[in-house]
Amino acid sequence: MLELSSKILLLVAALPTTAFLVYWLLKSDEEEENEKDEGQKVMTSRHTLIEMKIPRKSVGAVIGRQGQKIKELQETSGARINFKDDSGKEDEDRTILIRGTPESAQTAECLIRKILADQPIKVTIEIHVPAYSIGRIIGHNGDTVRQISRSTNTKIYIDRTRDSYRDDPRPITITGTLENIEIAKGMINELIEEEEQFRAKTAVSAANREPRSKQKAPKAQYTTDSNDSLKLESLISANEFWDRPTSEQTVLAEVQWPAYKEYVEVYVSAVANPGIFWVQLVASASLQLDKLTEEMSAFYSRNFDSQELFVTDVRKGHIVASPFEGDSLWYRARVMDIDGDQLDLYFIDYGDSNYSQKNSVRMIQQEYLYLPAQAIECRLANVKPKGDGWTEAATEEFEQWTHCARWKVLMSKNEKKIDAGDGEATSPSPLFPHLTLMDTNRTVDFNINNELVLKGYAEWIDPQ
């Protein structure tokens, strides 16, 4: 009995020690866990700063339109994201700063790296195109090349400082993705093909044109110091036009010199002297003019005896349809003067003049007024006649050198400088391009202005 009691006492005495030991072990584990949690809380409450280099060309993709992308990145990651002040150097990367907890900063960094990885790779290539196609590729005031650039998301650079009249291939630089560059190249090649087709048609058209016989010397249709205000329109009714007062009879639109092109291909269509001459632009209107002449010739030849087309009350400034002496074709002409039944006619598409009887001309029809007058009156740039005026020999040589009315292409450059076309200094005018003319059909380019000086027919206005 005593032995049993002793055992019970020993067990009771040992119980608190065991319980304490168990309690102590459990408490130690709990305190250790609490300490780890506290340490974790301390660690995660600290902010991390990450700096990243961003290629300048990718900055826009990270920022997004109106900053929407960078706002989205901040909301998704919980980090603050901003760029360092820009140094302004285009060849340097931008630095982006990411601030936040380690997790949020790392999340933002991963998201930004994904944006960079998804960016399309842009490259720059150089292609070469025929010099004669540059004008068509650039377009009026650069409209065509800008449209190609916008539609293909590429940057296109064309060096305009080179002599564009030469046949040497011209470089074009295109920057973009390989896919977009291929699309841009395809659009450029289409324009080159259009230009080649146009040049082929123009060559055929010029070959089929009959040389115009030389008539009386054309006279300048306007003077640079004239105060006349000419009303220009592109399309008018024939009857309405015919009934207008004389002061409005110069209403037919006139083709304008392409100011956006440095060098322009032209035909010299008429010559008064080397200082005053007329050109036609070698452009799509050349083909339209040939078609117009063909249609007018067929119509007026077929209806020559139609009473409705006879001219009765003709006045100065009227536009009429008239044949050209020594030519069976019909052309558009302006009445410059009237002497009884004889009309002094100026052929608005060629620049030459002719006398015709009133009964040999006909009223112009509305459908033949859509095309602007194609003859552009010009002056020769930087030269003036040597002596009292242009000699007959100088005029004859000038006609030969320019292939006057023989439809051979010359290259021209509008210098826009004060000239002394007919022996008296005149002021530059948009009506009178002041041209340097070059015959590039020869083995060596033939500068006609320079040749007039070398031959002793002219002298430079400004010392060369």
Question: How high does pLDDT run on average in the chain?
Answer: 80
Domain ranges of the chain: 48-118, 122-208, 238-460
Q: Which residues contact 203 (CB under 8 A, 6 or more apart)?
A: none
Q: What is the homologous superfamily of the domain 122-208 according to CATH? A: K Homology domain, type 1 (3.30.1370.10)
Helix (H) or strand (E) holding 124: strand 122-129
d(CA 426, CA 420): 6
| φ/ψ of residue 393, rounded to 5 | -65, -40
CA dist 83 and 79 (Å) reads 13
Q: Render pLDDT for 335-351 as a digit per residue (tens, 0 to 9).
A: 999 999 999 999 999 99
Output the pLDDT for position 260. 72
Residue 238: the pLDDT is: 43
Stated pTM of the model: 0.65
**Residue entry with tokens 């008296």:** 424
Mean pLDDT, range 64-70, rounded to an integer = 89
Q: Half-sphere exposure of residue 91, counting CA atoms within 13 Å on the CB side?
A: 0
CATH number corresponding to 48-118: 3.30.1370.10
Average the pLDDT over each of 142-156, 223-237, 289-303 and give the range with the smallest value. 223-237
Q: How would DSSP label each residue in 223-289?
A: -TT-------BS---HHHHHHS-GGGTT-B-BPPP-TT-SEEEEEEEEEEETTEEEEEE-SHHHHHH
Structure tokens at 364: 């112009």
**Check whether domain 238-460 has CATH 2.40.50.90, yes or no:** yes
Do 48-118 and 238-460 fold alike per CATH? no
